[in-house]
Each structure stands twice: as C-alpha cells, then as structure tokens.
C-alpha cells in the first residue's frame, strides 16, 4: 500500500531543529513513497514586520536548493509550505506562493486576531472556549482566500483541549464545520488528516466523525500528514492510511507544481 506524509517540518521552521536530510532519510527508510516538506510561513495580525516577503523568500529559496539535492532518494518529495494565518496578510501570502516553485500549499489558522496561538490557550478559563466560534469563522475566510491546495488540521484548537483534559463536544460546532466541509468540496481543495494528536491517544484533526461527514457530503480529496517536527513519527503514515480506508476513502492526493493527482490505496 502506498504511503503518504504530506505535513512535515524541518529546521527551516521556527519550532523544529530537524535537518531536512534527516527527515528525508527517515521517511525513505520507513517506506513512505510520497513526502511533502511543509515548513511554516506564518503571518501576523499585529506585527507587520513579520509579514515582509523577505522574511520568507530567502529561507524557502535555500530550502528548495537543498530539496533538489535530495531528488534521487527513492521517494517522491514535494516542495511545500504551510501558510499560517494567510488572511492576516493575504496579498503577501499570495506573492510568496507566486515567487517560489511550490508543489503544494497547505493553509492553516493557528489563532484568531490579537490572541495567542491556540497551542498556548488555557481552555479551562471561562470564555476561552468561545474563541472557537471565531476560529471556524476565520477558516471560512481562509477558504475564500483560496490560494492553497490543502486545508490543514481543521480542528486545530481541539488538540490543546485534549491536552488539558477537556472533553470536546464537537456537536457544538457541527453547523459551522459542516459549512466548512461544503466550502472545501466546492472549492476543490483537499482536507488534511492530521495525525499528530493520535501520538497522545486522541482523535486526529479533524476527528473521525468529521472525516466521515466529509465523505458523506461527497468529499474525496484528502492528504495524510504526521505534522512531525522531529523525524520520529513516520509510523503514523500507515496508521493514517488505515484510518482513511476504514472511513471509505479509496485514495489520497499528491501534488506536483500545484497540480493534483489521486493515488489509490490499493
């Protein structure tokens, strides 16, 4: 069965110290056929200095050169990027994507305006759970921006809630999530199955229930990503493939120069 890991990070991301070469060799040894390197390009609602194109273009140009040297390593490597909070500076986000020869663009939203990343939010405090209403509204705006291929970790705040021992009642946001799934399908974008919470015994992002709802609505385009920052979690690519098949998905999507191609599990 072909395996995919389309969400990984290296030391070109602020939150990883993993050399690109180490990640590539790890995935090759694990038998993963389709790999995307998707380091962070995060935009800010408050610090416009962060949003300058020069902060991104030099870094990703150097990474692209390194990736070209990895071309004959026995796996298909896509030059990718995870564009975080693109709607905070949509013009520069699109300029970045246009300037470099990315194969695949992931879009994500880690925070709502003028608040900290959900990675740090204390959901045990009164009122913070209401931030998710605004979060899902922001996801709709990300989809409307549209200059991406894959929507990453749709239920990102849930991971923080799991870690704080909070029982997540996803039905609270069912209508909003259902609308998002319809927008993804209409826009012909792929939905990522992000496996990082499964390392701690929790649901993937989005949850299995949401993935099944996406399938029931007619959604077919998925990618599978470990969100690995350390080259330690290659085994979850197979777990993700088995999960996708159990829900009824027959294939995953890979990209070359932003053009999608579906790869069947069998």
- Show the domains of the chain with their CATH numbers: 4-264 (3.20.20.140)
Beta strands of 161-243 (E only): which ranges?
190-194, 222-225
Closest CA to 191 of 175, 172, 178: 178
Output the average pLDDT for the chain.
96
> For 46-103, what is each residue's pLDDT tens digit?
988 889 999 899 999 999 999 998 877 779 999 999 999 999 999 999 999 999 999 9
Mean pLDDT of 169-185: 97
Residues 123, 115 contacting (CB under 8 angstroms): no
Q: What percent of the chain has pLDDT over 70?
A: 100
Q: Which two tokens stand for residue 104?
A: 């695949």
Residue/partner pairs of 196-201 with CB below 8 Å, 24 or more apart: 196/153, 196/159, 196/226, 196/227, 196/228, 196/233, 197/158, 197/159, 197/162, 198/236, 198/239, 199/233, 199/236, 200/162, 200/163
The whole-model pTM stands at 0.97
- The pLDDT confidence band at residue 127, using thresholds 50, 70 and 90, is confident
> For 13-58, what is each residue's pLDDT tens digit?
999 999 999 999 999 999 999 999 999 999 999 988 889 999 899 9
> For 203-228, what is each residue's pLDDT tens digit?
999 999 999 999 999 999 999 999 99
Tally helices (H) and strands (E) across the chain.
Answer: 8, 9
């Amino acid at each position: 069965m072909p395996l995919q890991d389309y969400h990984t990070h290296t030391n070109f991301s602020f939150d990883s110290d993993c050399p690109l070469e180490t990640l590539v060799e790890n995935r090759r040894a694990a038998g993963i056929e389709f790999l995307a390197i998707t380091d962070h390009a995060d935009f800010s609602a408050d610090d416009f200095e962060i949003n300058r194109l020069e902060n991104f273009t030099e870094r990703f140009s150097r990474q692209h050169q390194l990736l070209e040297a990895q071309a004959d390593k026995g796996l298909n490597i896509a030059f990718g990027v995870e564009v975080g909070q693109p709607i905070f500076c949509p013009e520069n986000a699109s300029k970045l994507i246009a300037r470099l020869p990315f194969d695949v663009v992931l879009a994500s939203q880690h925070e709502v305006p003028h608040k900290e990343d959900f990675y740090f939010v204390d959901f045990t405090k009164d009122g913070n759970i209401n931030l998710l209403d605004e979060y899902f509204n922001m996801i709709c705006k990300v989809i409307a921006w549209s200059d991406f291929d894959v929507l990453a970790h749709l239920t990102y705040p849930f991971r923080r809630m799991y870690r704080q021992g909070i029982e997540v009642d996803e039905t609270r946001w069912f209508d909003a999530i259902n609308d998002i799934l319809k927008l993804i399908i209409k826009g012909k974008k792929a939905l990522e199955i992000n496996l990082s919470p499964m390392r701690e015994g929790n649901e993937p992002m989005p949850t299995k229930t949401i993935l099944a709802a996406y399938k029931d609505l007619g959604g077919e385009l998925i990618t599978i990503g470990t969100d690995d920052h350390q080259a330690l979690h290659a085994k979850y690519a197979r777990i993700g493939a088995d999960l996708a098949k159990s829900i009824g998905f027959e294939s995953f999507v890979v990209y070359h120069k932003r053009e999608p191609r579906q790869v069947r599990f069998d």
